[in-house]
Amino acid sequence: AIWRSEPGENDLYYLKTIHVNTLTERPVRLTDTSADGSKGFYKYKVKVMDSCGHKWIESNELKTIHLGVNILDKNHNLLRWNLFKGWGSGVAQYYIYRMENNVEPLAPIDSVWRNRTEYTDDISAIAGSVESLVYWVLAVERKVNDYGFKEKSNSNRATVTPESDVYFPNAFKPGGTESLFKPVFRFLGGTNYLFQIYNRWGQLIFETTDKLAGWDGTYKGAYVQQGVYIYKFQYRDVFGNSVNRQGTVTVIY
């Protein structure tokens, strides 16, 4: 019989029964499809019953890892998790993983000692347009267990959308190496984007709400004249604040 807690709680409740007809030295595995790791940790215990329904033996208690992530500032995210419990030899280390643009990482970004429950991730070196960051923590068993391997346990995956970091080039050559004039993002967090280009007389000559789109230096199908143009850019950041930017760009040929 499998007993489990509700997420983030300590009391255990009956979950389900697995019938095993013969004794085996191989581990019996159960996938708990009803669990939602994003809501909190879970506790589990197995109670082995005989054919008459009498309790024969009871396992130790296992506690899964729940991870939460908070934004400290535009360059740092704070990860916090609870200690994993359930292995006789304990945990060797916790490995920190970070995924960018839905590309699974080949290796962890760092690891911490078994008693640590938080980690500050410095994201100042991340370059390019990143929509969000996904983190998870992997615990590895300290010693080889009775089945001949070291067990592993993953936390939930926690997603965070960093504050947008944007700048604008001050010059632009239509048809050149950089064929579009547009905001350059370090992160693409936020909503309600509006990017506009005006000529020196205040006439709107380009507008888009697509955060990846840019101005190609044309108006009504023809390249504009060399000179100074005004850009206006606004969006709502991940904290719900309205951000407005305005400046000039010089078109050169």
Q: Kindly list the distances between the CA atom of residue 140 and the CA atoms of 37, 62, 174, 196, in Å, as whole numbers in the listed order.
A: 18, 14, 54, 51
CATH of the domain at 139: 2.60.40.10
Four-residue CA torsion sign, 173, 169, 132, 105: positive
Structural domains in the chain (count): 3
| pLDDT tens digit sequence for 69-98 | 999 988 899 999 999 999 999 999 999 999
* Same domain, residue pair 141 and 182: no
Mean pLDDT to the nearest integer, 121-149 = 89
Q: Which two tokens stand for residue 154?
A: 């993953």
pLDDT at 234 over 70: yes
Tell me, yes or no, whether 36 and 118 share the same domain: no
Please report, for residues 61, 169, 176, 252, the alpha-carbon distance to residue 225 in angstroms, rounded to integers and kept in the order given: 73, 18, 15, 8
83 neighbors 105 (Cβ within 8 angstroms): no
| Of the residues 26, 41, 63, the one at which a domain ends | 63
Of the three residues 108, 128, 162, the one that is the final residue of a domain is 162
Q: What's the rounded Cα separation, in Å, for the pair 213 and 101?
A: 18
Q: How many other CB atoms sit within 10 Å of the CB of residue 130?
A: 18
Same domain, 79 and 157: yes
Of 162, 182, 208, the position where a domain reaches its end is 162
**Same domain membership, residue 133 and residue 79:** yes
**Pair (172, 243) in one structural domain:** yes
For residue 114, the 8-state DSSP code is T
Q: What is the pTM of this model?
A: 0.76
Going by pLDDT thresholds of 50, 70 and 90, the confidence category of residue 222 is: very high
Q: State which residues form the domain around 79.
A: 65-162
Q: Residue 218 has which token pair?
A: 């044309």
pLDDT at 23 over 70: no
